[in-house]
Structure 1
Amino acid sequence: MKRLFPFCAIALLSACNGDDAKHTATDDIIPAKVTAVTFDEQRFRTDIETLSSDKFEGRAPTTQGEKLTLEYLSAAFTQMGLKGAYKGSFLQPVPMVSYTASEQQQVTLAGMDLQYRQDIVLGSRHDSNQVSIKDAPLVFVGYGINAPEYGWNDYQDLNMKGKIAIILVNDPGFAHPEGAKFNGKAMTYYGRWSYKFEEASRQGALGAIIIHDTEPASYPWSVVENSWTGAQQDLVQSKAEQDQRVQVEGWLTLDSATALFDKAGLSLTSLMDRAATNSLNVDLAQTASIEFANKAEYADSYNVVATLAGSKQADEQILFTAHWDHIGTDDTKDGDQIYNGALDNATGTAGILEIARQFAQQAKQGHGLARSLTFIATTGEEQGLLGSRYYAANPIYPIDKTVAVFNLDSTNIYGKTKDYTIVGKGQSELENYLDRAVAKQNRTSQGELNPASGGFFRSDHFSFAKLGVPAVFAGGGNEPLDEATAQYKTAMLVKMKGCYHNVCDHYRPEWDLSGSLQDLGVYYQAAAELGNNQDWPGYFAGSEFNQLRPAD
């Protein structure tokens, strides 16, 4: 993979200790003997069912649902005998602010009145009571990318002060995978919505609006509507940081965007084609007026951090991460108003609990690891990896002593598979450990089928990858073990269709969790091997993170 954002990498290098740059190559290490374990499926099910029950109210940060979740996880880690990593407590405070934009919004683009939720979703990450924008010029900035290493700058010769950027989703590689720039169908960091809002802010824009398109976004408009309305959490920022951020940000439906460009006498389809081949910006000669009430509320949320100390290299940490949070509730909906988040991510949270129990039990029997294991149930992943970003910036254990990160996010509910998916495969030597564990299960590992979704940049492991810590997000597969499993998977996929970030993501007793347990075994075996040697995996040449912690 080509380098995506050297401006980040260079800054991050100063945060990493160069003394740990010498690593032992994984291929030269004889795998340590790993004790076989048996995961408790019923206990795993109970954790998923409890965490995603209506009682937990969708586990939104800073709510009663969070309080119940923290109590449940803390009790579980206490029962295992793990130690609280934050000053003796399991709870690491994460200072957060919730921004809530009014549902009553007056939005006019190019003279067209747009309907909130139906046509457009807007919010503001500013501590102000009112957003009021009058006749702000609209500028189409292609994909909204400034990438010097690709000779690409959609903001070339623009002064964005007082203007609103209209931006395409994903990056040019998706539309023209045969091109020499970007990474083909595999999304780069430049394709992520978070980058687009950040870059518009750096350019001094007043606002930034992304045009939603289902295929390159990899999710339908309903996900935008459900995820970007209601309270939006963020990490607390300094006044200077907040002042730099765009005043308004959000999403526009493709149909509404097409109508906007028609009003400007332009073809959106034609401009999309042009934007995918070369840097592009076009003044639409149209304006936007936006008015809505806004409020900011400050409260701490919490990461749950539990450590099982190693016996010989206790200062060296292997991390397991899974986000405990989900979207919460929406009282504007008719009928079911709770986003239970069973698959996403009660399954992953239950997964790190079950892995932790097995390692704790092995330690009690005298088979503990040389290195320490730390399990982090993170907050605010759904709002932009907030908990993992905060931990990475404020680590309890030094980043240069963090060996690797194994991330669980939505485990396999579709039965056993012959293959195993490593998201963003080809990044680091940590994958060698997964490959060996997968081979013991007579399975083969491969990359994800849809790299255009940018999965490597969408979950908590990415917060650590940006600092050079080898981090993996893996699990599941595409080839069912047998015909019976294939038939079950087909039927369950129908039941789960449209449930991502929706109220139908609730626990189902008929889920076949054998595939999840199979995958927990891969992570367990890989961590056990790495935990009993002195290897420091690094990133392969060609990875954008190679210069931070290179493979030997």
Structure 2
Amino acid sequence: MRAIFILLFILASNLLPLKAQDSIALHYSRLLSTKQIKTDLIILSSDIMEGRETGSNGQKLAARYIYQQFVKAGIKNFTSTTDSLGYFQNFAIYKKEQATANVEAYGKTFTNYNDLLLSGFTDYSNKSMDLIFLGTAPDSSYINKDFSEKAVLFLSSNLYAAAIKSNDIVMASQAKLVLFCNPNQTNQYTELLEKRKAISPQGMNLKSEINSNFNPYDSINDHQSFIRYKNRMHTYQGAISNATASALLQIKTKRLKQILKKKKLKQNEQKINQFAFNFSLEYNEVETENVFAFLPGTEKKEEVLVVSAHYDHIGKNETQIFNGANDNASGTATILEVARKFQLARNNGHTTKRSILFIAFTGEEKGLFGSKYFVDNSPVSLSNIIGNLNVDMLGRTDQFNDTTNYIYLLGTNHLQPKLKVISDSINQISANLKLDYKYDTPDNYLYRASDQASFVKHNIPAIFYFNGIHADYHRASDTADKIDFEAINRVSQLIFLTAWELANE
């Protein structure tokens, strides 16, 4: 392997001058512009981008900005042209809309987001469904019972706690539909209803290019998770209003309060009632896009290093914009500036042996959709991708650090251990950061939490650069004024030199 950074130790000892090619890398790494990183980050996290939720207008504005920066820097697309279409990898996701549901009984119809707050995963209809009243649902009322294709209703003094009890009932009894209400506090249902109405549906699934028949369970690809949740996939749960409970059970609200207090049912209150139940989901197709830029190599042009960051975030609600300055306008600004300096070096005749593909991924917040789509539909053979450097959340501190002069590295000890040697060596003559490897184990959940996971799944070595979780994570308070831009520049130097080494070794 080349010496940029075995020679670093020699350089430190003043025994030999740095090799010419390596001094070139250092030169361009030191040209990385804090000012430009700041400009990109502030624009990407501005209110005009509306939180960059996947498929939204704000996300598409951000995609266009990224594309424009690549073009402005003179970096071509994957087809080595400046045709705008060549900078985008378009794909579709399915966005789950609010469920339509209704219950019909005794000549009345009760509807979702009014009388009911039901959730579920699939369409279902039953014209004559048995309803079993469990009172306050002691364990003896549902454990070792088989309520398959039946509905149960129970009372609780806390609707939030009742949701947990509802899961227990489903798992223990196979109940198809679980309803719960709090007859003591009408306002609790009202508050829950208003909260649910205010939250736009966030559920999304990646559209399969192999099978056009959409399956909402496609995203549950872990076998253990599938086993754990298989009993809940075809079930429906939720709170209902007191008036709805009273009508379905044919028991007055006053009596429901007594039952909740005394925890006892009369014999005639244990009869099985019946109603009609209908539940349906709508999935709207939403178009979104990854953004590419490509620097072809020379001697090993077919071999490709991927440098990536996700540019999407979680969007906005009626009152707030979740700007996502740290998550992940910071990473996007980083790869843009690293790409510029590679192109500047190229303009001056300093090419790399291997090719470098810069990718800004969308859909990360929804389940790594952009990177999953890329590896499944890559314009480059996966066997030719030599590694991935992925950047997510820079320029802040977490609970373990009181300065920004550090970076967590994940993946360096997994598929390609030399990545740790390279990182340590480069760091000594560049940013001189504290390289923290505390999360650098293959089983750490953070290693699976960003887009490098999509590459690792295909045994492609990766480094994940990350500053940790902080109190503003996924909050409207994740804003640009809290970012240390010089800290991002220091990490950018480490990333630039690591990319240079991997592209030239």
- 1:513 corresponds to which residue? 485
- Cα distance in 2, alignment partners of residues 448 and 103 from structure 1: 46
Aligned-residue CA RMSD (Å): 4.5
- Cα distance in 1, alignment partners of residues 197 and 332 from structure 2: 22
- 2:331 corresponds to which residue? 348
Q: Does 1:94 align with 2:77?
A: no
- Cα distance in 2, alignment partners of residues 423 and 295 from structure 1: 38
Give CA deviations for 1:447-497 in whole Å, capped at 9, x if unaligned.
Answer: 2369786100010010010101101102448xxxxxxxxxxxxxxx9xx62
- Cα distance in 2, alignment partners of residues 227 and 248 from structure 1: 26
* SS of residue paired to 1:303: strand
Find 2:377's aligned residue among 394, 398, 403. 394
- Cα distance in 2, alignment partners of residues 473 and 250 from structure 1: 39
Find 1:365's aligned residue among 323, 342, 348. 348
Contact residue 136 and residue 162 of structure 1 kept, 8 A = no
TM-score for the superposition, normalised by structure 2: 0.62
Q: Does 1:52 align with 2:52?
A: no
Contact residue 317 and residue 371 of structure 1 kept, 8 A = yes
Residues 51 and 401 (structure 1), Cα distance of their counterparts in 2 relative to 1, 3 Å cut = same
- 2:250 corresponds to which residue? none
- How does 1:426-441 map onto structure 2 within 5 Å? 426-427=413-414, 428-429=416-417, 430-440=419-429, 441=431
- Cα distance in 2, alignment partners of residues 470 and 71 from structure 1: 29
Which amino acid letter does the alignment assign opposite residue 206 of structure 2? L
- Cα distance in 2, alignment partners of residues 251 and 505 from structure 1: 34
The offset of 1:370, in angstroms, is 1.2
- Cα distance in 2, alignment partners of residues 401 and 249 from structure 1: 44
Find 1:43's aligned residue among 2, 12, 36. 36
- Cα distance in 1, alignment partners of residues 199 and 463 from structure 2: 27
- How does 1:442-457 map onto structure 2 within 5 Å? 442-448=432-438, 454-457=445-448
Residues 514 and 229 (structure 1), Cα distance of their counterparts in 2 relative to 1, 3 Å cut = same
Find 2:58's aligned residue among 49, 62, 65. 65
- Cα distance in 1, alignment partners of residues 365 and 42 from structure 2: 20
- Cα distance in 1, alignment partners of residues 385 and 198 from structure 2: 32
Aligned residue pairs, count: 365
Which amino acid letter does the alignment assign opposite residue 303 of structure 2? E
Residues 80 and 135 (structure 1), Cα distance of their counterparts in 2 relative to 1, 3 Å cut = farther
Contact residue 93 and residue 207 of structure 2 kept, 8 A = yes
Q: Does 1:404 align with 2:387?
A: yes
Larger displacement relative to structure 2 (92-101 or 378-387): 92-101
The offset of 1:294, in angstroms, is 2.6
Which amino acid letter does the alignment assign opposite residue 462 of structure 2? A
The offset of 1:361, in angstroms, is 0.7
- Cα distance in 2, alignment partners of residues 250 and 505 from structure 1: 35
Consecutive unaligned residues of structure 1, counting only runs of 5 or more, are 1-23, 107-114, 138-158, 165-199, 208-224, 253-262, 264-288, 478-492, 534-552
Which amino acid letter does the alignment assign opposite residue 58 of structure 1? G
Q: Does 1:235 align with 2:182?
A: no
- 1:181 corresponds to which residue? none
Q: Which has the larger radius of gyration?
A: 2
The offset of 1:442, in angstroms, is 3.5
* SS of residue paired to 1:327: coil
Residues 425 and 402 (structure 1), Cα distance of their counterparts in 2 relative to 1, 3 Å cut = closer
Residues 324 and 417 (structure 1), Cα distance of their counterparts in 2 relative to 1, 3 Å cut = closer
Contact residue 424 and residue 448 of structure 1 kept, 8 A = no
- 1:460 corresponds to which residue? 451
Give CA deviations for 1:185-237 in whole Å, capped at 9, x if unaligned.
Answer: xxxxxxxxxxxxxxx9xxx9999xxxxxxxxxxxxxxxxx9999524222113
Residues 25 and 310 (structure 1), Cα distance of their counterparts in 2 relative to 1, 3 Å cut = closer
Residues 66 and 136 (structure 1), Cα distance of their counterparts in 2 relative to 1, 3 Å cut = farther
Give CA deviations for 1:413-468 in whole Å, capped at 9, x if unaligned.
Answer: 34865543212552133233222222224444332369786100010010010101
Consecutive unaligned residues of structure 2, counting only runs of 5 or more, are 9-20, 104-111, 133-145, 152-170, 178-195, 219-229, 239-259, 261-275
Larger displacement relative to structure 2 (381-390 or 91-100): 91-100
- 2:361 corresponds to which residue? 378
- Cα distance in 2, alignment partners of residues 380 and 43 from structure 1: 25
The offset of 1:524, in angstroms, is 0.7
Give CA deviations for 1:141-195 in whole Å, capped at 9, x if unaligned.
Answer: xxxxxxxxxxxxxxxxxx9x9899xxxxxxxxxxxxxxxxxxxxxxxxxxxxxxx
